Amino acid sequence: MVLHLADLDRTQIALVGGKAAALGELTRVVRVPAGFVVTPGPVEIAGRIDEGKGYAVRSSATAEDLPTASFAGQHESYLNVVGSHAILEHIELCRASLFTERAVTYRERQGIESAQMAVIVQEMVPARAAGVMFTADPVSGNRHVAVVEAVPGLADDLVSGRVTPDTYRVRDGVVVGSGPLTEAQVLELVGLGRRIQAHFGSPQDIEWCLAEDGFWFVQSRPITTLFPIPENDGGKHVWVSVGHQQMMTDAMKPLGISFWRMMALAPMHDAGGRLFIDITARLATPSGRASLLATLGRSEPLSRDALETIIERGFIPSEPDGPPPPARGEKELPEVAVLIERTQTSLAALKETIRGKSGADLLDFIREDIRELQRLMSDPESFQALMAFMEASFWLNENLEAWLGERNAIDTLTLSVPNNVTSEMGLALLDVADTLREHPEAGIPAAFLEKYGMRCAAEIDITRPRWSEDPSPLLPLLQAHIRDFAPGEAQRRFADGLRRAQEKEQEILERLRALPDGEQKADEVKRRIDRVRRYAGYREFPKYGIISRFWIYKQALLAEAERLSLREKGDIDFLRFEELQSGHYDEKLVQARKEAYRWHQTLTPPRMLTSEGECISGAYRREDLPPGALAGLPVSAGVVEGRARVILTMAEAHLEPGDILVTRFTDPSWTPLFLGLSGLVAEVGGMMTHGSVIAREYGLPAVVAVERATRLIRDGQRIRVDGTNGFVELL
């Protein structure tokens, strides 16, 4: 069929493609050059062409210009095509571009199985200037800033990258920039862009041209790279990323999100498949700001810098502090064994009680049991133990550097600490390798899976397959352990770490005693070393308890999924917990969420997000770096050179001894990989996050919070990691 653009609307995407459907909608809002669209199938354009005019012949695939996939630059378009014969030839060229390697690869990456090609034929506009307009800043995400790029004449040189455009930024009627458009023209253009955005209901990437008689519009599509804004009341808000604190920045599925929102001790908001906490109220007082800066500065320095940027701008006005909270007296520190026993007892009771429950009874029980999980998470004695470790660690690093010039002494002092369930898991896998070396038919022992089978990559998302469900990620690690280590490596490694920690402690105490007031300093340091070693291992246990509880919930829910009338078993992952409780299952809703999840996977979550949509990720302000070095946070001392292995998932983890792991983030499931590494570089992390704690435990030089490390470092490239000073050199 051949259809006039003015007769089309967004309901006809499946017939005419996203670009043509959007142009049909645009005709209801602004001026669009006259034209028609040829749907997939026979081509019949007789009588529709003025043989002396120039036309644009443009692709419009049925999977193009969608809210979750723009296909920008994937298909062909042609300008100034004259004559019916030439137009027919270019229609076929547009259709053929559906099958280029780049277009096929793009569809595969977006999870789009098939597409068809319609073709738009439009009269050319005699443009004095042309360009693109973004109704939100595509770089920062700020919805209050419009960006216009313009060139004289047609925009094909701009789109192809052959010329550098004039750029204008517009906020609240103020224009910054100059070039072929006047300020009045820029403001008129942005006003029309805002009208287009209102019609489509989302920020738009718009192509325009300026003729003698004013502006014309030739394309509008959603800006698919913008990170969504959490639902809010319309006021000013600032949200901090939960994923950057939990070392898991991947998109989560709806069931996983709903579990975290139910169990969170502070209200959580979701956007783009990620979780955020609203810190607006805390930013409104001096004490709240100081507390946030101190917390984020210790856990994730780039988050602290992002927060400082927001504070410096005065985005959230400051109000006076209320009365200070009453001072709390020093309490006796709890015993780690008692804290662990509390969680283990609670888990055992849960396993027993949940058995046999199903339907509404099961779901009501899980929601009620989450209160028990919250009780354990908010246990003041557990928090006291964690703070005792962290405060003593920071005190030791600060004072030992001041007194002895000893940087990051804590890295050696925390080797082979007791009760570290995560490092023990890595050593236990070495023991499994010893068993398989002698008895390859034995498989992974049930005892190992009973204790650690609830773990997996990105484990905070309850929907991710656990090792007990799919142990295949462990197999290449076991093969590498058998190949690279001699029997008894676990015991040797732990004993060596313990010896090094004890020797370091004695060396430090002896050096302190030689200083003025040396005995007093040595006593203070000894007391804190004992505290660090007593509580360092417990740092890993609360999360182990949460993930263990998740696994019990999940096994019950998987059994429940068998009884639900789901189209696919995995559809349960795309329902929120409250929908499971209500029995609400909408197949169309599930399919829409699957498409949204694919889109969310393409997004990069910000550390900080404002209600204006601005994504702020922070930056390092350092002048002490070697030329070309990548800045980061030093979390485990030492310097190492080696081959970089850029790995995004554990399934890709085929490592050789001495390799340096470069990845986005690590969680406890990555621990067994650390045994054969010589160093670690991660895009996300802080001094006390899991990967950092385990890197110190295993004595690996490590630098984390290295922005875009997996993009700037090539797989196989030789690099130097300075875990003492916090940078990575590309060699």
Burial (CB < 10 A; 0-12, 13-18, 19+), residue 402, is exposed
| CA dist., res. 731 & res. 726, Å (int) | 16
Segment (H or E) for 355: none
CB 121, CB 87: distance < 8 Å: yes
Pairing relationship of beta strands 633-636 and 702-704 according to DSSP bridges = antiparallel
| CA dist., res. 390 & res. 531, Å (int) | 10
Look at the alpha carbons of 699, 703, 708, 714 in this order and tell me if their dihedral is positive or negative: negative
CA distances from 344 to 338, 347, 376 (A): 10, 5, 11
| CA dist., res. 183 & res. 167, Å (int) | 12
Q: In the β-sheet with 166-171, what is the strand arrangement from edge to edge?
A: 174-176, 166-171, 146-152, 129-134, 204-211, 214-222
- Beta-carbon neighbour count of residue 261 at 10 Å? 16
Catalytic residue flag (residue 481): no
| CA dist., res. 498 & res. 505, Å (int) | 11
Q: Which amino acid is at 287?
A: S
Q: What are the structure tokens assigned to 110, written together?
A: 């977006």
| CA dist., res. 608 & res. 306, Å (int) | 6
First to last CA, the chain: 59
φ and ψ at 625, to 5 degrees? -95, 145
| CA dist., res. 225 & res. 600, Å (int) | 10
Q: What is the full DSSP assignment across 556-604?
A: HHHHHHHHS--SSGGGGGGS-HHHHHHT---HHHHHHHHHHHHHHHH--
| CA dist., res. 457 & res. 475, Å (int) | 14
Phi/psi class of residue 607: alpha, beta or left (left: φ > 0; alpha: ψ in -120 to 50)?
A: alpha
CB 622, CB 631: distance < 8 Å: yes
Beta bridge partners of 57: 78, 121
Pairing relationship of beta strands 117-123 and 54-61 according to DSSP bridges = antiparallel
CA distances from 542 to 178, 341, 343, 546 (A): 56, 12, 8, 6
Catalytic site residue from 90, 237, 244, 690: 690
Q: How does 199-227 read in b/e, with b if 16+ C-beta sit within 10 Å?
A: ebebbbbbbbbbeeeebbbbbbbbbbebb
Alpha helices per DSSP H over 300-420 = 301-313, 336-354, 359-377, 380-404, 410-413
Q: Kindly give, in sequence order, each residue whose CB lies less than 8 Å from that of residue 714, ignoring residues fewer than 6 positions away.
A: 644, 646
Q: What are the structure tokens assigned to 646, written together?
A: 């850029």
Q: Kindly give, in sequence order, each residue whose CB lies less than 8 Å from that of residue 122, ignoring residues fewer than 6 positions away.
A: 5, 33, 34, 35, 55, 56, 58, 218
Residue 667: which of 250, 388, 239, 292 has the closest Cα? 250
DSSP assigned state of 125: P
| Active-site annotation, residues | 690
